[in-house]
Every structure is written in C-alpha cells, then in structure tokens.
Amino acid sequence: MSTDEPRYLIYSLTKTFIAVLFCRLADRGELSLDSPVTAWLDEPRLQEPTLRELLNHTAGVPDYADSGYAEAVRRRPLEPWPDEKLLLHALRQDPPPPWMYSNTGYLLLRRVLDTLVPGGFASALERELTVPLGMTETTLALDPGDLDELAPGLSSQIGAATQDVRGRYHPCWVGHRTAISTAADLRRFWTALAAGELLGRSFHDLLSTVEVGVEAYGLVRPSYGLGVMADPDWPHGVLIGHGGGGPGYGAAVFALVQPVPLVSVVLKGEDGDGSAEAEAVAALETQVRESPA
C-alpha cells in the first residue's frame, strides 16, 4: 500500500540488504560464507576471495569508484558502465591495503545473487525482506524512470551545474545496485535486524568486526562487520549501521543492538558527503539520553 512518505535513493545502505541475504542463505545451509566467490563466478582475475571477505571489505579487491569513475558519471550520467567495464576499471588499480571499502566487492556479491537465486537480487530482496517486513515502499532502482517519483535530489556530481538528478541519472552506475526506500521502511528493517529477528547463527558473523583504521564521527572504534558499519566500543552498547551517498541523495541509519533497539534514520535530497552518517549517530545519542533507563 502506497504512502505519501518521500522516497530516496539509499545507495550503499543497499549493501546491508545484500549482506543479510547472504547470511540468511548461510543460515539455511545453502552456502558457506567462507566459500570462494569463484564457486559461482568465472573470474580468473580474482585471487579467489571468499564471500565473507567481500562482505567485510577484506578481500583485497580495488574499488571502482575513483576520480575516473566520478568524471565518467559527470560526463555521461545516463550511460552507466556495464559490470565488465566497472570490473576492468577496478582491477587495473594497485592492490588495496588489508581493509579497504570496495564497491567492486559488492558488485561481485550482487552477481553471485543473480547467479544463485532464481530471479536474482531483486527477487531475493522481495521474497526474503521487503514482503515479510511489509516494506512496501522499498524497491531496486534499475532505470532512470524509477527516480521520477522520488523526493527531489540536487546534485553537483552530474553535468556542469547543480541540478535535480531525476530524469538525468541512471542508477545502474551503482554496480551493486541501489534501493529506493523511505524512513519508515528503513526503520522497520534495521529494528528487526538489530533485535536479531532476521538472522540465526549468522547474526554473530554479521557482528564480527574488523577495525577500519580511519576516524568516523561519534565512533570510538570504527569497525566493519558483514555489510554493517559498527562500533563494538560505543559507550551506550554495540552500534551498527551504514551510510550511503551518491548523486542527489545522502542516507544513513544507525541502531543500538539490544532487545528493544533504538534506531535513527537520516535521508537527504543532496549529494552524499558523509554528513548523514554524522547526523544519524548524533540523533541516536539523543535517543539514548532521552530513553527511560
């Protein structure tokens, strides 16, 4: 049932959906998170990274989203590079450090879902998450027309001047794909995730983190699990979340893991620049202070 709540591109918040889908498949014994991605993808250029390594960005796969990619988006926002060109662009780069955020890794994971699951990523997302959770306003954006009914999204990342991305940007520039969602749908998903309702044994895997070695607003020990930003030393409890940003939109959700989770959601109609993450962490801190002990 449609609502009047504004909808936004959520960019890399989609990575958490991908990670949860893999964890659910692992819970059912349909795959092992420690299997090499080459079990599903014939890709001799890769050094057989595992699904787990791709999910937590320790696979050593370079990111395609560099300055060359950004310039290509600016020049031809309606002509996305196909998967092969994104991969070729990434794999020409030098190997990254032990932990490095990689959109390319999640492109590979999306391709595994497309190979492994009937109907691919879109079908798995609907069957496993959006329909069971009643996320009626959450879909994948696969065509420029899918942006027509979104909230306005102002960007300086396409063309020569700041403009609304609707009708001017192709969402398949995002190799792992980007979902469209609302604050209510995201709150529903992250509340269920943080409460441990979506996963079985793999919830421990999702929360097993590696330190990322960079500072992040409001976080004591910035870390990354399976598709989640995290802080195991956050003073109020275990913190998980994710940010997302690209042309026209910025998004972030953070949640406190506990029996009755607290969740903050920030969605913005402007280029993602990290500010949504900082606002979401600050909003969660306010919720903690104002919540009954």
Nearest-CA neighbor of 61 among 41, 83, 40, 87? 87
114 belongs to a structural domain: yes
- Classify 251 as helix, strand or coil: strand
Over residues 22-42, the mean pLDDT reads: 96
193 belongs to a structural domain: yes
* CATH assignment at residue 25: 3.40.710.10
H or E, element range at 276: helix 275-290
pLDDT of residue 1: 40
pLDDT of residue 43: 85
266 belongs to a structural domain: no
216 belongs to a structural domain: no
Domain that holds residue 44: 8-210
Nearest-CA neighbor of 28 among 207, 191, 257, 198? 198
267 belongs to a structural domain: no
231 belongs to a structural domain: no
224 belongs to a structural domain: no
| Domain count within the chain | 1
How is residue 165 written in tokens?
């991305």
- Average pLDDT of every residue of the chain: 95
101 belongs to a structural domain: yes
The sheet with strand 178-181 has its strands ordered as: 8-9, 178-181, 139-141
| pLDDT tens-digit readout, 204-242 | 999 999 999 999 989 999 999 999 999 999 999 999 999
- In whole angstroms, give the CA distance from residue 241 to residue 62: 23
